[in-house]
Amino acid sequence: MKTLHHTLSIPLLVAGLLLTACNGGAATPAGNIPPVVVDDFAVSAEGRLLPLTYAQLSFSAGGKVAEVSVAEGDAVAQGDLIARLENSEALQAEVARAEAEVLSAQTALDDLNSGAALITAQAELAVANAREALDQAQRHLSGLKNPDVKYYQDRVKDAQGALATAQENTVVLDIGSLQASLQAANDGLKAAGDRLGAIQTAIDSCATCDPNRAVTVDGYPQTLSDAQDAYNSIANTARSLEIQLAQAQRGNADAVEVAQKQLDDAQKNLNAALGAPNAIKLQMAQATADLAAAALKDAEAKYGKVQSGLDPDQLALVEARLNTAKAARVAAQAAPARLELRAPFAGTVAALKVKVGEQASPGQPAATVADFSLWIVETDNLTEIEVVKIKEGQQATVVLDALPDVVLQGTVVAISSLFEEKRGDVTYTVKVALVEGHPLARWGMTAVVTFGR
């Protein structure tokens, strides 16, 4: 909707004037006359009667008129519908679709922000797993390069003792108790192995340090030798329990077979430790360690990236979608207004030039709304000589040409600062607010204004 809006500003002093209209003599005829000096202190000029505020309305778009909600002379409040073109329902549907897209885009952005913490935690876990895999690969490689011969010799002795025990068939224990004891031994063996590996790693990481020094792990110090002895002791217990459990479950023959198998494995491992390292196994272990190191580096890089914030490219994409959706919503919300005429302020429908079913053109005047709560008389032919005798707040009398016997009281509320040239004279516009109107007063009536002292 396009609006040609005219407002006549009036100072508060007008409201304080309690003058009432009074009858006077015959008014000066309202012809096209220049201002005249009535006496040494009064100036008279011709003016025209205008409402306080008025606006000429037109549609921003063309189309068939679907609804006219008012008639000429009706009072309207600000925002009241005056007329509407067709297809407004379709445009409202577009608004709903645009709102849905904004909601969807906002949800996507919220999900991206809320998922950042989860992504960071996952990246941190990946770093921990990669570091553990590298430690295991390096320990395995170190064991292939520098095998602990004494350790394997002890395993052979332990296996030989376990085999002798099985052959003598001297162990008779409760299966349930054996299972519980074996589980406890295995748990202890794992803990001792982890502790032994941690101590070995600490010693290997410092080439200049004393390899026989005590290393603090889990709150108390221990040498590598002591940790190895503790591990061996628990391992012996676990193997013995395995044999005892096998004897109880399957009989001595099976237990002897298990003990023999353990001895064979222990002897095989000892022989491998005494001989030269297997080149293929060594290459595979080295490759595994290299891959683990590369995986750790990659995991740390990813963690560093997510730790510094969201993926900037992904964030920019989601934000661009949201901004586009908001712009589309603004456009969709503005579209229905182009098919409607609404009152820009409270007043009266002074003119209505559209009917239902008629074709309306954009920019063509369709309605006029005016505020007749106060009348303004505007004169624009006061010359530079007369205007200097007038000031805001000055009283004036107004006589309408149509009502020559009625004298209306008014107050000067505005004097223009910009001049115009008319018939060779420099003139200025002066506005006078009437204290009271008249039931027969009409927009556009001519009047003679006399400015008092």
Q: Do 18 and 149 belong to one domain?
A: no
CA distance 68 to 85: 9
* pLDDT tens-digit readout, 250-275: 666 677 788 888 888 888 877 777 76
Q: Which of 385, 453, 377 is nearest to 419 (CA)?
A: 385
* pLDDT tens-digit readout, 342-358: 999 999 999 999 999 99
Q: Over the Cα atoms of the chain, what is R_g?
A: 51
* pLDDT tens-digit readout, 176-232: 787 888 888 888 888 888 888 888 888 778 777 777 878 887 777 888 888 888 889
Residue for token digits 């407004």? 88
**Would 312 be classed as within a structural domain?**
no
Backbone conformation region of residue 393, classed left if phi is above 0, alpha if psi is from -120 to 50, else beta: left
**Would 250 be classed as within a structural domain?**
yes
- Among residues 265, 287, 307, the one where a domain terminates is 307
The b/e string for 99-138 (b: 16+ C-beta within 10 A; e otherwise) is eebbeebeebeeebeeeeeebeeebeebbeebbebbbebb
- What pLDDT does residue 443 have? 95
**Would 398 be classed as within a structural domain?**
yes
CA distance 283 to 280: 5
* pLDDT tens-digit readout, 152-165: 788 888 888 888 88
* pLDDT tens-digit readout, 377-416: 999 889 999 999 999 999 999 999 999 999 999 999 999 9
- What pLDDT does residue 252 have? 60
The answer to whether 8 and 419 have CB atoms below 8 angstroms apart is no
CATH code of 387's domain: 2.40.30.170
CA distance 315 to 433: 60
- What pLDDT does residue 311 have? 67
* pLDDT tens-digit readout, 55-75: 999 988 888 898 999 999 999
Q: Which two tokens stand for residue 124?
A: 């941190």
CA distance 36 to 398: 15
pLDDT surpassing 90 at residue 444: yes
Question: Where is 279: in which H helix or E strand?
Answer: helix 279-307
Q: What are the residues facing 397 on neighbouring strands? A: 409, 450
**Would 195 be classed as within a structural domain?**
yes
Cα 77 to Cα 2, 281, 347, 376: the distances in Å are 18, 92, 7, 21
**Would 81 be classed as within a structural domain?**
no
Domain residue limits at 409? 2-61+367-451
- Among residues 291, 307, 323, the one where a domain terminates is 307
**Would 102 be classed as within a structural domain?**
no
**Would 95 be classed as within a structural domain?**
no
- Average pLDDT value over all residues in the chain: 81
Domain count for the chain:
2
pLDDT surpassing 50 at residue 32: no
Amino acid at 140: H
